Each structure stands twice: as structure tokens, then as C-alpha cells.
Amino acid sequence: MNAFDPVLKPLEWSELDERAVKAIKALAADAVEKVGNGHPGTAISLAPAAYLLFQKAMRHDPSDPEWLGRDRFVLSAGHSSLTIYLQLFLAGYGLEMDDIAALRTWGSKTPGHPEYRHTTGVEITTGPLGQGLASAVGMAMASRRERGMLDPAAAPGESPFDHHVYVIASDGDLQEGVTSEASSLAGHQQLGNLILIWDDNKISIEDDTNIAFTEDVLKRYEAYGWHTQRVDWTSGGDGYAEDTDTLAAALDAAKAETGKPSIIALRTIIGWPAPTKQNTGGIHGSAMGTDEVKGLKSALGLDPEASFAIDPEVLSYTRSVAERQGAQRQAWESAFTAWSEQNPQNAALLARLRAHELPDGWTGSLPEFEASEKGVATRAASGKVLSALADVLPELWGGSADLAGSNNTTMDGVPSFVPTEHATKKFPGDPYGRTLHFGIREHGMGSILNGIVLHGLTRPYGGTFLQFADYMRASVRLASLMGIPTTFVWTHDSIGLGEDGPTHQPVEHLASLRAIPNLDVVRPADANETAWAWRGILENRDNPAGLVLTRQNVPTYPRGTDGFGAAEGTLKGGYTLLDTEGTPDVVLVGTGSEVQLAVEARKILAADGVQARVVSMPSREWFDKQDDAYRESVIPSGVKARVSVEAGVAQGWREVVGDAGRIVSLEHYGASADYKTLYAEYGITAEAVAQAAKESIEAAS
């Protein structure tokens, strides 16, 4: 149990609470009816449960939505957006009746699915089913990591950094594979601060879920290592009573179980007590119709002709929730003040983390790599960067989806984040460790990373092969939509992967990821670009980044000598790596491992009297953010002869090279062979780049 939690036993449930719940049900029906579309049924039947959470069980303060000590709430069933909007309205988070009436309309605070940073009190954009629950696992992991950083010696439940993550999920959430991945990991991690209410109403868009979903969910979650409970408001099908006392007792039992995450299967009837559409797919995702709305209100004992109505006395009561939790807030504040005084260094760290600032001089820890023709793989360089930053950036933590040795995502000497009994000889660790092991769960990893970022204080990263970014696309897209700085590390970035063959060799992935708005795709050319890429990623908090790294060695260029430009140009997204005297005849643009081909092609062209500028463009997105003058200085508009080279599909490069330009690319899948053979066989060579340059010069003349 937590020392600062509101008391649920005995549950104080008055006539005002009953009236509030009835008002929620009517308002849910009114809002969907007004706009003509939406999801009223779940918001109606879950009204007592959501109200119990926001008014009785959760620790929060509407006047301080970013309060460090708050519990987190995730509506994984995001289609039932009214479930959270109505609670935010009642509690006083800034939503008013006009906002409820503006549901799903242009410019409203109440869009079809709750959106992070759009509506105060919404902690996450869930959208696709399953993402919310999976990300909530990340929030629970972040909470434990943050406690371990800041207050590891406190007794369980006594730290101001102890709180719960509450989730409401639907049948649909539990059918999505991403929740299986994340829930399995949550049980393994023994996340006792995670509490899930599953709305077991057995209805989805296709009506009765018996058509597709008949497993015993609680047995599955028991096998995952969760604490399981069932609350049946249907009394086994013999009636219906919204028994908030029993649900409150289940929540208390979930809080008491600190060694396992908890799931409460809440058996409800969707849309209850609507007269004819309750317990049907028709009330799941459609407006109810005028007569049905009136019938619902009559069944609730409300005026069937009144719309968007709530008694001022009820609203005054619900908006006093922070006042009613005043004793708990004061106890938390006292504990937090005492912690701050006793732990001044950690208090200073917390202040920096809350301000989202990096420490002074941190860039001095970034390694510099000596020039080398043999070079190193950029994945290896990335691993050295992470290890170098371990001491200076305690907020930086991460791991991989069972590919630690391949992704180089493990900081040297850093313990794993894992219950002590699950630590291994190779990976010693403890519950407050730092190296993450996601298992072979790429989709779950992406969602969990988002949840860690949203929790607020740390900077996580997670690695896998670039090919498997396909499994992560939904979570990558949501990170981009929310504008949060999740870092995805994708290695083995091309046919350079070699012998594993076409199933593991990404071809279309760079173009596909660049198509995601607000995602920075960063593919450094050598070790020093990799260090600068990490700097650029960590200095940015406005959106996510995908760091794309090689398996094979690439040359480390002699920066500042032999004509090579400084690797600092990486921060611009594109820069002149090697220049010519005067205006170049052709501009050669490369990314990642193919930059070396442009460098070699420049020599071939020089022997024929052709002057070529080599541009390294690790990030198209960063380059596009530069001003016109800078971009003109790198790729002059007057030089129409241009060549791009990248071991992937050509899509997206025409806008860089122009009509007269040429694109050296790969328009088919790879094969199983060593990478040098593959590059030669597929014509991705310095000679091919030089020939393309000559063709482009001719086309531009």
C-alpha cells in the first residue's frame, strides 16, 4: 500500500456520487447524439468505474496537472474518449460543458480519441487499441527506475516517488498482440504499481465477442505473473448492480499486492441501462438515436427532455476532489520536503530532469574517434558513445529486443533493470538497474519506450534490427504524433547485413520511415557522425528519432585534414564532407555506409577531370529544417548535376537530386551473401556512382 493514497475502505459513496454517475451516463449519450457519431456505450457502462477512480481512488490534483506525486491514468480504450473527458470535466481539469458538447468537432478540446498535450489531464495519445496498456507498462517501469535514481532507500510505499499507474482497457485492447508482449514483460518485471481494469463487456464492433474471442483472459494473465481478480456486476448473468463497493475492495487488494501487476476483470453490460441497445454492438460505436437517449434518461430517473444537464450542486462536489484529498496531498508535500532537505544532490538532479535540461559540459564526455581506413561499424561506435555518457547522463537508459550484443545498446558496467531473482550470470541486475531487456518483443518495446518518455524524467532508447522496425510502426507513429523524444536504435541497416539474406535486409524501410511526419531518421556515415548524431538526438525534445546504424565497418574519416569537413555538420542534417575548388561540376550525396562510395567516386571522377563535391546527409529531416541559405551553400541550386547513393529504394531522393539527377539505389530485395558481394552484384559501387555522375552532368548541360 502507499502512504499517500486516498482511503477506499470504507468507501464513502453518497447520493451526490450517485447523481454524478447518472449525469455522466446522460452526458455521454448527449455528446454522441449531438455530433452524430462516436462511442457512447462503454462511456455509459463504465461511468461508475471511471468515477470511482477519479473521485475516490486516484491521487491527483486538477489545479496541478503535472504534480510529481500524481497517479497516472491511461485510457487504453481510446475510442471511448468520453470515459476520460467526462471525468476531467467533473474534476475540473479545464473542460466545461461546451467542450463536452463539442465532442469530435473541429478545434474542440474533445477530439475523437484523447490526445496528449491537446487536452489537459490526458497523459497519452492511445489511438490504436493496445497501445495504451502497452505504454502504461512503460510508465510503471519508469516510475520504478526514477525511484531508484532518486530515493532508493525509502521503505516501500513511503517514498514521494511511489505512485500507481491505472489503466482502463477493453476487449479489443486485450486481443491486440502488443498487449500480450507488454503484459508478459510487466509480469516478469513484477510491476506492482500497475493496476488494470479490463472492461469485460463481451461486445465489440462486430457485436458479441464470442465470434472471435473466447479465451480465459484471467488465466492468461495469471500465467504472465499478474495478480488477478474478477468483479461481476451481472451476478453471473442473473441481474445487474453497479457495485462500487466490490470494485473499491478489488482496487484496495490490487494496491496491497506490491509484487505483481494487477488485472481486475470487471464484467459489465455495455450501455446499461439503455432500454433496447444495451449489450449490443449497435451501442458500441454509433449514436443511439433520440428515442433511445430519452429512454436511457428515463431509466436513470432523469428528465428525458433535458440535454447536457448537470446539477450545480453535483458539479461543485466533484470539483472539490483535490480538497477532499487534501490530507494526502499535505502528507506527500511533507515527505517530499523532507526528502529534498535530506538529499540535496538528488533534489538538484530532479530539478534538472523536470526542467528537461542536460547537465553543463555533458558534451565533453562524447568520444572522438581517430581516423581509420578500416574504421568501425556505426553500431559499435554508438555503443561506445552510450558507455561514455553513462556517468554524466543518469537519465539515459535502454536496451534492446534480445539483441544487446548486435545492437550495442548495453552501457559498459551498468546493471540490468530486472527483479533480482531474474538476473543472469551474463546480465547481473536489480529492480533499480539501467539496462533494459525487452525480450523478442519489438512492438511492445516501442510502446513501452513511449510510456517511459511520457512518465516524464528519463530518456530511454531501445534497439533492434532495422528490418524489424515494421513490427514497431504503430508505436513509432504515435511517438511522432505526440511529439515526444523517444529514441529508436535500428542497426543492420541495409544489404550490408550480409549472409542473413533478404528476410533480414531492409530495402524499403528508410523511405517508409522518412514518410512518417515528425520522425527524424538519422543514418550517420562514420563513428564521429554517430557521436554527433547522439548529441543532436539528446538535445532535441520535440520529436522522436530513429538512429540507423551499420553492421559492417565503415571508414572513420580524418576530420579537419585531407579536405574532410568537421563531423559537427551532422547536426545540420547534411553538410559538405569533401569540396572542390570553385563551383563543383556535380554534387554527390550519400548517407550512412554509402558515403564512402561517394568519396571513392570523387577520386574516379577527378582522374577524368570532373570536380565533385561530396555531401554527407545523415538526416534528411534535420537538413530540411535548415534555412534556405545554408541548404543552398551545401547543394547549390545552380548545380543541376547531382547523384544520390543509398542502399535502399530511390523513393524520396528525386526531390534532392532534381530532374537531371541520378539515383543509385536498390529497387528489389537482397540475397544471402557477404555484403561486399551484394554491393558489387547489385551495382551499388563507387564506379556506379561515378558513371551516374557523368550521366547527370550530360543531362544537366
Query: Catalytic amino acids?
Result: 442
Name residue 291's amino acid: D
- Angstrom distance (rounded) from CA 235 to CA 498: 60
Q: How many CB atoms lie within 10 A of CB 285?
A: 18
- Angstrom distance (rounded) from CA 484 to CA 450: 8
| Three-state secondary-structure class, residue 630 | helix
Q: In whole angstroms, what separates CA 441 from the centre of its chain?
A: 14
| Three-state secondary-structure class, residue 372 | strand
Q: Which helix (H) or strand (E) holds 230?
A: strand 227-232
* Residue 463 grid cell: 534497439
- Angstrom distance (rounded) from CA 224 to CA 441: 14
* Residue 308 grid cell: 447536457
The answer to whether 193 and 227 are in contact (CB under 8 A) is no
Listed residue (138, 126, 121) closest to 169, CA to CA: 126
Q: Which residues contact 691 (CB under 8 A, 6 or more apart)?
A: none
The answer to whether 529 and 497 are in contact (CB under 8 A) is no
- Angstrom distance (rounded) from CA 628 to CA 564: 23
* Residue 550 grid cell: 551499420
Name residue 114's amino acid: P
Q: Which helix (H) or strand (E) holds 528?
A: helix 527-538
Listed residue (453, 344, 387, 406) closest to 551, CA to CA: 406
Name residue 99's amino acid: D
- In this structure, is the dihedral angle defined by the CA atoms of residues 122, 123, 126 and 132, taken in order, positive or negative? negative
Q: What are phi and psi of 616, to 5 degrees?
A: -90, 125
- Angstrom distance (rounded) from CA 326 to CA 339: 20
- Angstrom distance (rounded) from CA 491 to CA 476: 16
Q: What are phi and psi of 64, to 5 degrees?
A: -140, 70
- Angstrom distance (rounded) from CA 172 to CA 212: 11
- Angstrom distance (rounded) from CA 307 to CA 273: 17
- In this structure, is the dihedral angle defined by the CA atoms of residues 317, 321, 322 and 327, taken in order, positive or negative? positive
Distance separating the N- and C-terminal Cα atoms of the chain: 77
